[in-house]
Amino acid sequence: MDFEPSQRCSEFKERLSAFMDEHIYPAEDVYERQLRDSGDPHHQPAIMEELKLLAREAGLWNMFLPDEEHGAGLSNSDYAPLAEILGRSRIASEACNCSAPDTGNMEVLHQFGTPEQKDRWLMPLLEGEIRSAFAMTEPDVASSDATNIGLRIERDGDEYVLNGRKWWITNVFHPNCRIMIVMGKTQPDAPTYTQQSQVLVPLDTPGVTVQRNLPVFGYIDQDGHGEILFENVRVPLSNVISKEGDGFMIAQARLGPGRIHHCMRAIGAAERALEKLCQRAVSRVTFGQPIAMRGNIQDWVAESRIEIEMARLLTLKAAWMMDTVGNRHARTEIAAIKVAAPNVALKVLDRAIQVHGGGGVTEDFGLASAYAHLRTLRLADGPDEVHKLSIARRELAPYMPREERAVGA
């Protein structure tokens, strides 16, 4: 593997880092203040729309999309270091139109959408005019096994009728959210992996009721996580993505790049937490010495550096394999980073919180909310255990009796 960033990547990194220094970091407090002053936790602060214009002007827009025409044309390896930089601030990804779940939804529409679906939904998403949600998880079934997903999508004339309940649907409280990609069962009697389909459902379709916002450790996220009831929701047959029965195939296709993005953002958050840890440790004095002089604190600093480097290199390896041998052959690495990166970031954040004392659990240093957010990454997009299961199955396969090898291969 070649660890040298390409010239293109280095050039983007330099411009993005300068943009973070000049515009994003100084806007963080403004964003929080505007959000707080509005009295609405889902308000879109004016500063965000200003940042979006600046990011566009700076050519730091849709960097996630490998397509040359609509995105920056960057490979996974080129984009990964940029996702790390974006992960340093909770407002950077949206400012650059690179935030989940829109990125995955745009990739899906770009790859599988019909010309009409692209015109109607992909273009405004690429322009940053609207936002979107991805609705798979259901409260009534263990959704980390996607074969359990039960929302019914039934044909009726030239329409689909949707009935069921979803939860943890990120973004539906964002004031700009207009469209959901909904996964459900069209053919319950088909073979297991062709029972599901994905359909486009505008948020304002009659029968869609967003019943409540789900807080994360008590935090109300600005984009929100909705529990949604679908009652006789009707959309035209032309809203199916790809074709009926392709739900699993599409879900698989969206996962690889999304995981690289999540993991590199987590590493960016870990780097920033380590910076804060070090700054605090050299400036606080106890018992006649800066905290940084204590052996255990130096051990935490060293462990953090080692773990961050390991997670970054593993993630870059996964990105490089996706670029060179394809997502299928990178399955073990993609699953591995999804476990490794959030856990490393959580460890570093936990140490940073400890070094900040009581201040660490307030919102004064941004550590507590970052911890809460990163903790959800051990669940969202598949819990750790499921990714470990898929790694272990491939690792064990050569030692299994021949007839059992196919299971989970």
Ligand X SMILES: Cc1cc2nc3c(=O)[nH]c(=O)nc-3n(C[C@H](O)[C@H](O)[C@H](O)COP(=O)(O)OP(=O)(O)OC[C@H]3O[C@@H](n4cnc5c(N)ncnc54)[C@H](O)[C@@H]3O)c2cc1C
Scanning 112-120, 123-131, 230-238, 385-393 for contacts with ligand X by CB under 6 A, the matching segment is 385-393
Is residue 344 a contact point for ligand X (CB under 6 A)? no
**383 lines the binding site for ligand X (CB under 6 A):** yes
Q: Which of 137, 176, 196, 198 is in the footprint of ligand X by CB under 6 A?
A: 137
User: In terms of CB distance, is 88 or 387 closer to ligand X?
Assistant: 387
**Residue 152 is which amino acid?**
R
- Considering only 161, 220, 278, 389, the residue that binds ligand X (CB under 6 A) is 389
In this structure, the strands spanning 285-286 and 289-290 are antiparallel
Give residues 181-220 in contact with ligand X (rule: CB under 6 A). Answer: 216
Q: Which stretch binds ligand X (CB under 6 A): 6-14, 241-249, 325-333, 383-391?
A: 383-391
Q: Pick between residue 142 and residue 306 the one whose CB is nearest to ligand X.
A: 142
Question: Residue 131: beta bridge partners?
Answer: 177
| Distance in Å, CB of 103 to ligand X, minimum | 12
> Segment contacting ligand X (CB under 6 A): 19-27, 165-173, 272-280, 361-369?
165-173
Minimum CB separation from ligand X for residue 228, in Å?
Answer: 10
Binding mask 139-158 toward ligand X (x if CB under 6 A, else -) reads ---xxx--------------
Of 280 and 387, CB closest to ligand X: 387
For strand 159-170 and strand 225-236, is the pairing parallel, antiparallel, or unpaired? antiparallel
Q: In this chain, which stretch among 88-96, 227-235, 305-313, 373-381 interacts with ligand X, using CB under 6 A?
A: 373-381
In the list 44, 77, 103, 170, the residue contacting ligand X (rule: CB under 6 A) is 170
C-alpha 182/C-alpha 230 separation (Å) is: 10
Check residue 168 for interaction with ligand X (CB under 6 A).
Answer: yes
342 binds ligand X (CB under 6 A): no
Binding site for ligand X (CB under 6 A): 101, 134-137, 142-144, 168-170, 216, 225, 376, 379-383, 385-386, 389
